[in-house]
């Protein structure tokens, strides 16, 4: 019943209006469907999205290759990974295309979920207890997600640490998003309401001004909802790093920082704004610098995205050097779902916190909610507004209403506080 009988693929468009691939996996009359997201801030060690950098080439290749997948078990993500790897014969899915590997593996487990009458996360957990992540929301930003005049820091994030349910956590992030707009309007009467790729406000503010706005909004909403909300940042430092000059170039701030100054700046931000989370505070090859930063801060998640790119061998290097204490999990960085779950298993074995994340160019697929639970993530990073973001958040609400998970929302708080003092 769970065997693949056919695969069909098509070219569709993501939230940025860019081409991406959608795949239907058939198991007789059951159809599982998934489409691949894409990032703007892309690590150079990520899986290659498309064959020959073209979505249509990927689709045409998959049509020729799909016979190799016929008969495979839709629920066995690791066997699917092995079949895809064997056919691709590269380290980065440059032949098949990482987007195809992503869509095939997610569509397959989507079909298996229907056949087995089990939610996707339960298939991924394979008997392990399920724990809910809380939503991490992008509320203000700049960098590669927004236009000229916005901040160098790419994302200012709201995390509802004290929320007692998924719904209250989502609502708190929405309130922070709305409160930020009110504060910006008071500061800049000409603000047109511009947003970045992920729906975060993109005003013309300095980094410091944006930090103050985000912190004010979070404090205001924390008082209203009656529980603690904390600020996080995605610095996206690889986009700031100039390897020739060995400097972090904050062009919109007209300032440069060497490595020591960057570490000092990050530590200052952690302390001043009581940050619970800081992603990519240093560039994508700065393992020893991540180690140095991690040794100096024990009250904040030091998160590697471009550093680890959901790659198990690169993660092992970070574990060996004690670089950071947390990771971003993006399935399409790895390629297939099996690759990403092997990465998650290694994280959990070595006590690295997992944050399952959307991409800036995303689709309305809801699968991220299941990936977050199935991987044991402590947070799900999925934006705050926009249909492609809300689809993931609403799926968490649906899951919370089922009988599969005990609605004990102290669980994610306790899990996050394992990593921060």
Catalytic residue positions, numbered? 198, 330
CA 230 to chain centre: 18
Whole-angstrom Cα distance, residue 260 to residue 399? 44
The H or E element containing residue 84 is helix 77-88
Burial of 410 (0-12, 13-18, 19+ CB in 10 A): exposed
Cα Rg of the chain (Å, integer): 21
Residue 185 tokens, joined: 């309007």
Q: In 226-357, which ranges are continuous DSSP H helix?
A: 259-272, 287-296, 312-321, 331-334, 337-349
CA atoms within 13 A on the CB side of 193: 2
Pair 72, 1: CB distance under 8 Å: no
CA 383 to chain centre: 9
Whole-angstrom Cα distance, residue 99 to residue 23? 10
């Amino acid at each position: 019943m769970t065997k693949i009988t056919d695969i069909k693929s098509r070219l569709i468009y993501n939230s940025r209006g860019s081409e991406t691939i959608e795949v239907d996996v058939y198991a007789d009359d059951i159809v599982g469907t998934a489409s691949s997201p894409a990032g703007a801030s892309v690590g150079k060690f990520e899986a290659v999205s498309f064959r020959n950098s073209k979505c249509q080439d990927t689709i045409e290749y998959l049509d020729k290759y799909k016979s190799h997948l016929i008969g495979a078990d839709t629920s066995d993500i690791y066997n699917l990974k092995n079949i895809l790897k064997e056919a691709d014969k590269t380290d980065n899915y440059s032949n098949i295309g990482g987007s195809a590997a992503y869509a095939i593996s997610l569509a397959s487990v989507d079909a298996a979920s229907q056949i087995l009458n089990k939610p996707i996360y339960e298939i991924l957990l394979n008997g392990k207890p399920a724990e809910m992540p809380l939503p991490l929301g992008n509320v203000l930003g700049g960098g590669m997600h927004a236009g000229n005049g916005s901040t160098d820091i790419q994302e200012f994030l709201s995390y509802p640490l004290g929320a007692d349910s998924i719904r209250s956590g989502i609502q708190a992030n929405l309130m922070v998003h709305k409160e930020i707009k009110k504060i910006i309007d008071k500061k800049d009467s000409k603000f047109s309401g511009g947003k970045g790729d992920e729906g975060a406000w993109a005003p013309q503010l300095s980094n410091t001004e944006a930090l103050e706005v985000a912190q004010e909004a979070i404090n205001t909403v924390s008082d209203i909802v009656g529980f603690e909300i904390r600020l996080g940042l995605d610095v996206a430092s690889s986009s700031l790093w100039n390897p020739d000059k060995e400097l972090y170039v904050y062009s919109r701030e007209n300032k440069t920082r060497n490595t020591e100054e960057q570490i000092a700046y990050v530590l200052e931000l952690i302390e001043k704004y009581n940050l619970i989370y800081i992603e990519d505070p240093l560039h994508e090859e700065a393992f020893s610098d991540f180690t140095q930063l991690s040794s100096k801060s024990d009250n904040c998640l030091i998160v590697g995205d471009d550093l680890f790119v959901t790659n198990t061998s690169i993660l092992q290097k970070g574990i060996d050097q004690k670089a950071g204490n947390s990771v971003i999990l993006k399935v399409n960085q790895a390629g297939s779902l099996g690759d990403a779950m092997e990465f998650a298993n290694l994280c959990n074995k070595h006590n690295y916190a997992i944050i399952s994340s959307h991409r800036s160019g995303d689709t309305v697929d809801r699968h991220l909610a299941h990936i977050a639970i199935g991987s044991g993530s402590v947070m799900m990073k999925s934006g705050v507004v926009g249909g492609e973001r809300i689809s993931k958040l609403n799926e968490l609400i649906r899951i919370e209403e089922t009988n599969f998970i005990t609605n004990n929302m102290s669980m994610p708080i306790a899990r996050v506080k394992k990593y921060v003092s």
